[in-house]
Amino acid sequence: CDDLAVQNLAVLGATGSIGDSTLALVRAHRERFCVVGLSGFGQLDKLFALCQEFRPQMVAVPENKAAEFDERLQAAGLDTRVLSGSDGLDVLASAPQVDTVVAAIVGAAGLSSTLSAAKAGKKILLANKESLVMAGHLVMAAARTHGAVILPIDSEHNAIFQCLPPAVQADNKAIHRADLGVKQLWLTASGGGFLRKTYAQMAAATAEQAVNHPNWSMGKKISIDSATMMNKGLELIEACHLFDLPEHQVQIVIHPNSVVHSLVEYVDGSLLAELGTPDMRTPIAHALSFPSRMTADVKPLNLFELASLEFIKPDEQKFLSLVLARFAAKCGTGACITLNAANEVAVQAFLDGRIRLTDIAQVVGRCLIAPEVSAHFDDEFADLPSIMAMDSKVRTVASTMIDGFENASFD
């Protein structure tokens, strides 16, 4: 779209939950946005319908589906260019006609395209927290060098971003300025579906029960991460990179209402928070229109109906993931790659009915202390191939571990 007032979007992971929320906002503000690129991995019928609706210039699909998808588009009279595989996502994320990349692929699969968008100096709406967990140092450095702007749409990080001084919003390194007085960050966590359940109940949970989140409707992987609280662990590492702080300046507090989306604590005792109905359209709308605001059609928060706000200290014995993530954050990149990769393999094994929900943290913990893995914690990880090599090494260790223990207890 040639109109300079229009933001040209590439939505990576368009068929997912964040993709849905993003495209709902685009539909409500058609005059402000033009969808020039979409990507999807599964649900290709849904992706095809999105192509018919938005008529993007480019679409990225898995390698083995590209030819068939291309034929389908042509038969429907669409001249959308079909890109494929990880390279296709990189091309889409860095295409000159794209202003803004919505990075909403789930898991490590989103890293390469996020990094490509950063190197191409794009405005990046970052949902894919795993790319910062694995390679925050590379993504943030590339953004700085190439003038990319990273706006978090993970609700907690978006809330923190909104509560930080404008100087920090413009340059995350300004967070260290004494005159700005940022003391620490507070990430709120809903506590997931097992907050009030015992460890034994958590161990007995089916995939269907665990995917069901009390307050948010999300993709399967992040829903399981919320149930184990690994999501908050990943978010801790995400926050350290986004806001350039060490892990001890990022606290985690359980807030089952999911109304306070996170807080910034200042040296004068002030705590600034962003509140709202839990709906991802709010952080996405904020980032899409930043620094102005736009409507998001979100149910307004009724303060008169809010009886109370509850805050609870997390139980780290029950939610071992929190301890593991803090340990990884202290150790550095190699341990963070390990945490993420082992978790992705273990979550899939749980969804496949091979291990219990509580075994996920056991797999991650055992991978973190496996000598063939921890021997690499101090490697440099200066580029994408070295990070992907570590990711794949950990996946092998985690898979072998799960094969060996299948149907047995890790406890």
**Positions in the binding site for Mg ion (CB under 5 A):** 154-156
Closer of 31 and 208 to ligand NAD (Cβ): 208
Residues in the interface with ligand NAD (CB under 6 A) total 25
Q: Which of 280, 284, 341, 349 binds ligand NAD (CB under 6 A)?
A: 280
Give the whole-angstrom CA distance, residue 306 versus residue 280.
20
Residues 366-395 touching ligand NAD, rule: CB under 6 A, are none
3-state secondary structure 301-341: CCHHHCCCCCCECCCCCCCHHHHHHHHHHHHCHHHHHHHHH
Q: Which of 1, 32, 41, 253 binds ligand NAD (CB under 6 A)?
A: 41
Is 25 one of the binding residues for ligand NAD (CB under 6 A)? no
CB of 41 to ligand NAD, least distance (A): 3
Closer of 42 and 166 to ligand NAD (Cβ): 42
CB of 323 to ligand NAD, least distance (A): 20
Give the whole-angstrom CA distance, residue 84 versus residue 233.
32
* Residue whose beta carbon is closest to Mg ion: 154
Closer of 83 and 360 to Mg ion (Cβ): 360
Buried b (16+ CB within 10 A) or exposed e, 56-85: bbbbbbbeebbeebbebbeeeeeebbbbbe
Partner whose footprint covers residue 172, from ligand NAD, Mg ion, none (CB < 5 to 8 Å by kind): none
Give the whole-angstrom CA distance, residue 195 versus residue 177.
37
Nearest of 249, 272, 232 to residue 184 by alpha carbon: 249
Closer of 202 and 218 to ligand NAD (Cβ): 218
Q: Report yes or no: 58 and 80 within 8 Å, Cβ to Cβ.
A: yes
CB of 223 to ligand NAD, least distance (A): 8
As given in the structure block, the two tokens for residue 15 are 């068929």
Helix (H) or strand (E) holding 280: none
Is 109 one of the binding residues for ligand NAD (CB under 6 A)? yes
Looking only at the bridges linking them, the beta strands covering 260-266 and 271-275 are antiparallel
Partner whose footprint covers residue 18, from ligand NAD, Mg ion, none (CB < 5 to 8 Å by kind): ligand NAD
CB of 157 to Mg ion, least distance (A): 7
Give the whole-angstrom CA distance, residue 82 versus residue 191.
41
Closer of 154 and 391 to ligand NAD (Cβ): 154
Residues 112-131 touching ligand NAD, rule: CB under 6 A, are 127-130
Rounded to 5 degrees, what are φ and ψ at 183? -95, -55
Q: Which residues bind ligand NAD (CB under 6 A)?
A: 13-19, 40-42, 104-106, 109, 127-130, 154, 216, 218-220, 222, 280
